[in-house]
Structure 1
Amino acid sequence: MKVIDRRRSKKSKPKKTFFKNSGIKEIKSEREPVTFSDNLVKNILFLENNQYGVIEYNNLIPEKYNDSVEFMKHGTKRVIGRLEHLASDYTAQDCIRDCLDNTSSGRYSGGIFSIDEGFEFEIKLLNCLEGLQLLYYLHKDKRSALSVDLYDGNSNNVGLDAIVSLSSRTKGKSPYDSIKFSRVPILDNGRKKEILRTLRVEHNCEYRDYDIRRESKHTEDVDLIRRNFCPHEFAAYYSILSSYLDNDERDKAKVMFDMSLFPFPTQLSVDFHKKVEHQTLIQESSDKNPRLLKEGEKEILMWCLVHRLGYEKTFKPERKILEYNWDKSCLPSYSK
C-alpha cells in the first residue's frame, strides 16, 4: 500500500489555559502514586482525587510502530460503520453502536466510517472528546466567538448547508471563520442515506486534510481517499445540532444525531479522558522515570474503555452534552 501524505506537520502552539494538559509536576502534586500493569481502564477509573496512576506497561503502542505519530497515522483502524449497511430503520448511530459493542481489542489508532470503496471518514475518539470540550468552552466563556448560520431551505432534497465560526483553542488566534458542512441529513425521509453519501466539510487547519491511498481490491488497484475529522469540526457539528435543540426543532436534531458518522461521548468517557490527561503517567522498562502519555497511548486507552464497557456507557449520551462537567479539578472515582 502506497500512502501519499498531504497533511501539514502539526507544530506545538500554546493553548488557552482551559485546554492545557497537566504536566508531570501538576499530576504528582499532593498525590500518592498508584502503580498498575493490568486492568488499565478499571484502575484509571478507580483513582481517587489524592492519587495519580503510573501505568507500568511496555509497548502499549504496538512495537512495530516507531513512535506515536506513526501509529496514529498507520495503525489499525476499527471500522465503525458502512453506508451500504444503513436502512430506513438502521441508522449510522445504530451501526456505530453495533461496531463499538464488538471490538476485538483496544489497540486501535482510530475508527473508519466507509462511504464507498473510494471514500471514507476517519474518526479519532480523542478528537470527539476534544471537540466536545471546545464546544463546552465556547458556550461557557462569554468572550469566545461562536456563530451558526443554517441554510436548510432545500433540505428535503439536498440536506443542510451550515457555516460555523468558532474561537480557536490556541492563544492569540482569530476565530476559524469557515467551517462549512454541506449535505447534512436533517429530515427523516427516504433520501437521508443518499444525502449522507455526499456529505462534505470545508475547513482549513493543521489537524486534518486528505490521505490518498492506493490499495489492492480484488484484482485492481484503487485510489482510496480518507478524510480526517478534526476537533474543530466535531465542535461545529455538535453546535449545529445544539442550535436545532435550542430552537425546539428536535426532529431535525434527532436525524442529525442518528445519521452522525461519529459517536457522542458520555460523561463517563469525559471523566476517563480527564483522568488520563490530568491524573495518569506511564513508565516502560526503558524509562528512568514515569512520563506523560503520548497521543497514540491516549487513543488506545479510549478504545480500551470502549472495549471493556461498551457503547452505551461510553458513547451514548445520557443527557445534554453541554451539561457535562469538564472541570479538571473534579476527577470523580468510579470505585463505588
Structure 2
Amino acid sequence: MMSVPPAPAEIDHLAAVGARLSAAMSSVVVGRPDLVRTSLAVLLAGGHLLLEDVPGLGKTTLAKALARSIDCTVGRVQFTPDLLPSDLTGVTIYRPQTQEFEFRPGPVFAHVVIGDEINRASPKTQAALLECMQEAQTTVDGTTYPLPRPFFVVATQNPVEMEGTYPLPEAQRDRFMARLSVGYPDAATEVELLDRNEDGDPLDDLAPVTEAAEVERLVAVARRLHASPAVKRYVVDLVAATRTDNGLRLGASPRASVQLLRAAKALAALGGRDHVLPDDVQELAVPVLAHRLLPSAQARTSGRTTADVVRAVLDQVPLPAASPVLASAGRGRRAAP
C-alpha cells in the first residue's frame, strides 16, 4: 500500500524541529555540524547510531547532547566485561510477601539508551540488544515486553585494537543504521571547546527542545517522503556493488538498502524537501554502509578500508538518469512524481 506523501506543513515542521535540535546539540558539540546532522538523520529515520573512536574525543558527550535535547526517558549503560544480559533487559524476581513474580525492567526500557564502550562487554551481553534494536521489544523468561517508542540506541565503542575490547559481531553491527567517527578537532575548535568548558559543563545548561511523542510523529513523516524509482534503484545498485567488490569478503545486506533509503529520506526532510536526491544517498553511503562490510585479507594487507571501498563504489556506480523530481531540486518544494 502506497503511503500518503507528507504535506508541506509537515515537512516545514520537521525541518524546524530539526533546526532546534541541531542548535541545542551544537551548543555542546563544538565544530562538528556534520556529526550533528547525520545523528539527527539517524534519529528521524528510526535507526540506531554507533560512535567509534579513541577515548576522549566526545563520543559520549554527543550521545548525551542528543538525549538531553529531547524530553524523554534516558537509559545509561556502562558496558564492562562482567555485565550480564539481565543487567540490560531486566530480571524477574519472586516476592515472598505476595507469592508472585515481578519483572524489574532494565535500562533498555527508555526512549534513548546510551551504551558506553559497547565493545567492552562480552558477545553474550552484546547479543541481548539484538531483539531490542530490531523489534523494539525484549523477551525475558519467556515473556515479551514492548519497549518505549521511539526507541533509539546510541552506542560508543573504542577501536578494536585497544586493550579489553570484543569486536562487535556482524549481526550486531548490521543493527546500527550508521557509524560515525568523531575525530580530533582542529586548533580553533579545541580552543573554543576550552572556552565553553572553562566555567562548567555545557551539558548542564542544555534544555529539551522537543519531546519523545513529537519525535515519533516526525519519524513517521520522514518515512512518507517520496523516493523515485530511479533513486531506489540507485540505492540497490550501490549496495549490490559491495557484494561483488574484490576488496570485500562480505557485502552489505538488504537491511542496508532499507536503512540507507530511510536515512536519506530523513536527511532530505531535515533540508526541507519532500523528495530524496542522489546527493542525500551519497552523503550517507559511508556512514550507513562501511561498518557492515568485511574487508578481504588482501584489502587489509594493502591498508584499504571499507570506507575506501564505499567511496570507490560511489565513483563507479552511475547516477540515476534525470527525472522531473531530480531536475526540480532547488526550484520549489513540490514536484511531479
Tell me which interval the TM-score lies in, with the shorter structure as reference length.
Answer: under 0.3
Give the TM-score normalised by the residue count of structure 2: 0.26
Richer in strand (by share): 1
TM-score by length of 1: 0.26
Q: Which has the higher helix share?
A: 2
